[in-house]
Amino acid sequence: MIAKKPALGPLSRHRLIVLDRDGVINHDSPDYIKSPDEWTAIPGSLEAIARMNRAGYRAVVATNQSGLGRGLYDAATLNAIHAKFKAELAKAGGTVDGIFICPHAPDEGCACRKPLPGLYHTIARRFDIDLAGVPSVGDSGRDLEAAYAAGCQPWLVLSGNGPSTLAQGKVPPGTVVWDSLMAVAEALEGHGENEDNG
């Protein structure tokens, strides 16, 4: 069962948020994002991250980039794509504290390709925190499954694959649905310190 925009549950006091990249921050493509030119922000997404930062949240990205494992682009190109993302985000007044990447193709059998939670475990170790109550925003079922498996709060945003993910209804228990990343930022902004838990 999906609750649309319920009152926020107990969120982590650590004020970290995990974001999927394609379909959440930038427009996705069935042909993969293979160059900086192909990376274009979803309107409002960068401003939303900046707003999360102003609300005291560190944002990190967790993204499957199987295009690396498939040989569609190389690590230098992915770095250039992320340089463009970070530069545009900085112009909007925001920053991310890390971009965590699964570079593997599906047949490589790694532990980090979502829906597996490996990237989340790496994030937990890097920030030395428990991920319980850490919100994690994605547009696909595998994002939500990985978040849920890691103990995060699975939040579905209705950009990218979000509408079809919602229509299919196969989401983890407790999934919260948001219209946009800006709606997420506004909710976090309204979530005062005295409401913190954990």
Q: Looking at beta carbons only, is 64 or 159 nearer to Zn ion? A: 64
What Å distances lie between residue 55 and 14, 19, 46, 93, 192, CA to CA?
Answer: 12, 16, 14, 13, 9
How far CA 23 is from CA of 70, 97, 132, 138, in Å, comes to: 20, 20, 24, 8
Q: Which of Zn ion, Mg ion, none interacts with 20 (beta carbon under 5 to 8 A by kind)?
A: Mg ion
Size of the site for Mg ion (CB under 5 A): 5
Q: Does 23 bind Mg ion (CB under 5 A)?
A: yes
104 binds, among Mg ion, Zn ion, none (CB under 5 to 8 A by kind): Zn ion
Closest distance between Mg ion and the C-beta of residue 132, in Å? 23
**What is the rounded distance in angstroms from the CA atom of residue 125 to the CA atom of residue 127?**
6
| Nearest CB to Zn ion, comparing residues 14 and 21 | 21
Tell which positions 39-68 bind Mg ion, by CB under 5 A.
none
Stretch 169-198 residues interacting with Zn ion (CB under 5 A)? none
* Sole binder of Mg ion in the list 60, 78, 139, 177 (CB under 5 A): 139
Stretch that binds Mg ion, among 18-26, 50-58, 70-78, 145-153 (CB under 5 A): 18-26
Q: In sequence order, what are the residues at sequence separation of 6 or more whose Cβ sits closer than 8 angstroms to the Cβ of residue 178? A: 5, 137, 155, 156, 157, 158, 184, 187
Q: Is residue 107 flagged as an active site residue?
A: no
CB-nearer residue toward Zn ion: 110 or 132: 110
Return the one option of Mg ion, Zn ion, none that residue 117 interacts with (CB less than 5 to 8 A, by type).
none
The answer to whether residue 68 forms part of the interface with Zn ion (CB under 5 A) is: no
Interaction between residue 114 and Zn ion (CB under 5 A) = no
Is residue 102 part of the contact set for Zn ion (CB under 5 A)? Answer: yes
Q: How far is the C-alpha of 75 from the C-alpha of 80, rounded, in Å? A: 9
Is 20 a residue of the active site? yes
- Nearer residue to Mg ion within complex by CB, 65 or 153: 65
Active site residues: 20, 22
Which residues of the shown chain bind Zn ion in the complex (CB under 5 A)? 102, 104, 110, 112-113
